[in-house]
Every structure is written in C-alpha cells, then in structure tokens.
C-alpha cells in the first residue's frame, strides 16, 4: 500500500486530494496547522518539518497544498511581513517538505510530488503580487526538482488552478470573484474535487512520462 502526505490536508483542495487518494486505497497522512488533520504541522518551521518527517517515515506521494493567499492590496501597500509570510508558506513550506521527503523517494526508486501552484503564478493577478510571485516560485522549484530527479523514478509536477471554490476564497469580495470567473471561458468556479482528480493522476503510476511540468486546470483560462 502506498503512503501519501498531503500538506494543507485539513481544507479545500488538500482535503479533496486526501479523500480522492484514500478512495484509491492510498494510506493518507494529512498535515496542517488547522484542526482536523492527522499531524499538526507548520510547514514554515524547518525543525518541525524535520521532526514530523521522522515520525511519519518515508512516503511515496507528497502533495504540497498548504498555502495562503497573502495580502490582497496594491503592491506599494504590501508590508515586508506580509510579503515574507506569503513566501514562507507557499514557497519555503513547499521546499521544506520536498527536502524532507524527496531523498527517501529517490532511494526507493519511486515517488510522486505534486505542488499546488496557481494560474496567478503564470499570468499574475492584480492586487495579489506576493501570491502571484510565490506561485511563480513554486513553478520554478517544480521544474528544477523535476529535472534533478528525472532518472530516479520520482516525478515532480505542479498544477495551476484558476479560482476554485474553497475556504481560501470565502472572504474574497463578490466583485473580485466575478472578475476572476469572467476570465474563465467556462464561466464558473472550479471545484476542489476536479483538482483532486488531476492530482490523483499525477500521483499515480498512470502518469509516467511527465516531470517538471505544470498542468493547467482553469476552465479554459490558461492560454499557455
């Protein structure tokens, strides 16, 4: 039986991924700051990640879904703290978990890492400079690690969703959501289960000739 670690697994896309992988017979461990997960973990804390990795042991699948939207305001109003906090979770947290688990996967000769990027990292969303830049960094990390591990049996890919109906968007103003939906040719929000379906494929043997790639899931919004 394969084991998966899903960060951010208490909510939204991470929870949907955990449910989808469990339904396939994968043993899933969810790690999150929020209650309702298997392991309480702050992915920004390198020592906590190392300690958790020791307790969890090697995993076959890592889904990095822990993330925050960060400041939603004009760039010149973004504080150093807001910028750093966004990168700490979205980029450094993803780095911490990849560092803690990728070597074990390479040693066994099989592994799948799926990182949650965003269409914001490819196109940039106005008012979300820190978030957009952090997701572009996740894409760069994914491409580099994918190439680094390309002959190891460990595949590293990212998904880039457009706006998905999850708690992350609960506080988003209706007019902002309307604008984001207007950019989507299918004219609707995505669902966490739809993203989980793609993640489950990327986390499986059925995905075998892709690494360092970015998979759009955007109702037609992505144009490259």
Q: Which residues contact 132 (CB under 8 A, 6 or more apart)?
A: 118, 120, 121, 123, 124, 125
Closest CA to 98 of 84, 85, 116, 81: 116
32 binds ligand NAD (CB under 6 A): yes
Structure tokens at 223: 């144009």
Q: How far apart are CA 185 and CA 181, in angstroms?
A: 8
Name the one range near ligand NAD by CB under 6 A: 5-13, 20-28, 103-111, 122-130: 5-13
Name the one range near ligand NAD by CB under 6 A: 51-59, 74-82, 141-149, 158-166: 158-166
43 binds ligand NAD (CB under 6 A): yes
Residue 131 appears among annotated catalytic residues:
yes
Nearer to ligand NAD, 56 or 68 (CB): 68
- For 208, phi then psi, to 5°, come to -135, -15
Nearer to ligand NAD, 145 or 152 (CB): 145
Interface with ligand NAD (CB under 6 A), residue from 169, 181, 183, 222: 169
Nearer to ligand NAD, 13 or 152 (CB): 13
Report, in Å, the least distance between residue 21 CB and ligand NAD: 15
Interface with ligand NAD (CB under 6 A), residue from 42, 49, 199, 202: 42
Q: Can you tell me which residue has the tokens 């106005």? A: 126
41 binds ligand NAD (CB under 6 A): yes
Report, in Å, the least distance between residue 110 CB and ligand NAD: 25
Give me the sign of the Cα torsion angle 170, 171, 177, 178: positive
Nearer to ligand NAD, 8 or 212 (CB): 8
154 binds ligand NAD (CB under 6 A): no
11 binds ligand NAD (CB under 6 A): yes
118 binds ligand NAD (CB under 6 A): yes
Q: How far apart are CA 74 and CA 127, in angstroms?
A: 5
Give me the sign of the Cα torsion angle 138, 127, 66, 32: positive
Q: Which string of DSSP letters, residue by residue, matches 171-183?
A: TS-HHHHHHHHHT
Report, in Å, the least distance between residue 134 CB and ligand NAD: 8
Structure tokens at 77: 């109003």
């Amino acid at each position: 039986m394969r084991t998966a670690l899903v960060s951010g697994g208490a909510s939204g896309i991470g929870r949907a991924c955990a449910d989808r992988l469990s339904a396939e017979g994968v043993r899933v461990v969810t790690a999150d700051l929020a209650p309702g997960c298997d392991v309480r973990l702050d992915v920004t804390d390198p020592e906590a990640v190392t300690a958790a990795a020791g307790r969890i042991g090697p995993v076959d699948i890592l889904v990095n879904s822990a993330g925050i939207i960060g400041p939603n305001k004009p760039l010149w109003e973004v504080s150093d703290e807001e910028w750093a906090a966004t990168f700490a979770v979205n980029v450094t947290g993803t780095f911490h978990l990849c560092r803690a688990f990728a070597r074990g996967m390479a040693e066994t000769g099989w592994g799948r890492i799926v990182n949650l990027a965003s269409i914001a990292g490819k196109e940039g969303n106005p008012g979300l400079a820190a978030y957009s830049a952090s997701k572009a960094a996740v894409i760069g990390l994914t491409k580099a690690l994918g190439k680094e591990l390309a002959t190891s049996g460990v595949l590293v890919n990212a998904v880039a969703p457009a706006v998905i109906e999850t708690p992350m968007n609960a506080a988003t103003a209706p007019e902002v959501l309307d604008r984001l939906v207007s950019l989507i040719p299918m004219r609707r929000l995505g669902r966490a289960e739809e993203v989980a379906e793609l993640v489950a494929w990327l986390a499986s043997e059925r995905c075998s000739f892709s690494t360092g790639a970015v998979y759009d899931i955007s109702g037609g919004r992505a144009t490259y």
